[in-house]
Amino acid sequence: MAMMPLLAPRPTSTAAPTDPVAADPVPAAAYDLARRGLLPRHLAVIMDGNGRWAQTRGLARNHGHRAGAEAVRRVTRMARKLGIEVLTLYAFSEQNWSRPASEVQGLLTLLVEFLRQELDELRTNDIRLVAVGNLARLPLPVRLTLQHAIDSTARGRSMTLALCLSYGGREDLVQAARTLASRVAAGELAASDITEGALGQALWTAQLPCAPDLVVRTSGEQRLSNFLLWESAYAELYFSPAAWPEFDEQQLTAALQAFSQRQRRFGGVAAP
């Protein structure tokens, strides 16, 4: 998974203003799902395919990460318009540290650019930014900039935008188990008190208000790749063939329509 700026800088234009309704890129079908209460409360996205998208065009991989910025912008704005409560983006995995140093540095540079340049727009749109993952592994300047953005958007109530940074589902489960084991060893917690709820509260994702209802992965791959393994136990999965830079409002609408047609039984029996 690869990080890119969430809301790319807007190009300046001298064109005459257009009708805001006519210019809205969100399909009417998506608004219809929202009116009918058929949207996920929590949408999570594995943003895959930036590097391959660039390579098929003879470009460096970091060009793909920058091209993916517009897709992040589209999805973030569309989720906000539709009233989706939580949008979680798999931005940088624990395994991504193994990529070439130049690519890792490019990804972290893009993150810092977003945090500095797009903070006002997040605040204007009443979006709360949170970060999930092994954040201590990020370089100090990145952590400081990230914390400033988190603190500055803490009052946002219209949507939570969660960035998974240096994140891995297995790694999260391990650190949670170690935390609980340490509390048991210290006499603060009995082993019998370790429940699903206790484990969930020890995870990095405990700050999110709910588990994902829909997990979307782009670029045709059909696996979770260590993303929200505990939290996605009952999530619906949707796999799009489009590379992340090509993922647009129409394709997100298709994912949302597919979700609206699923029967979510959570281990029970569907109502007759």
Q: What is the pLDDT of residues 49-98, one digit of tens each?
A: 999 999 999 999 988 888 888 888 899 999 999 999 999 999 999 999 99
Neighbours of 151 (CB within 10 A): 10
Neighbours of 38 (CB within 10 A): 13
Task: Give the residue ranges of DSSP H helices in 12-90.
Answer: 20-23, 28-35, 50-55, 61-82
Residue 144 lies in a domain: yes
Question: Active-site residue numbers?
Answer: 48, 96
Residue 63 lies in a domain: yes
34: helix, strand or coil? helix
Distance CA 196, CA 181 (A): 14
Residue 2 lies in a domain: no
Residue 19 lies in a domain: no
- The count of structural domains within the chain is 1
- pLDDT, one tens digit per residue, over 156-180 is 999 999 999 999 999 999 999 999 9
Residue 242 lies in a domain: yes
Q: Is the pLDDT of residue 223 over 90?
A: yes
pTM of the model: 0.89
Residue 93, domain CATH:
3.40.1180.10
Distance CA 67, CA 51 (A): 10
Q: What domain range is 78 assigned to?
A: 36-259
Residue 108 lies in a domain: yes
Residue 13 lies in a domain: no
**Distance of alpha carbon 34 from its chain centroid, rounded?**
20
Residue 27 lies in a domain: no
Determine the straight-line distance between the first and last CA of the chain, rounded to whole angstroms: 41
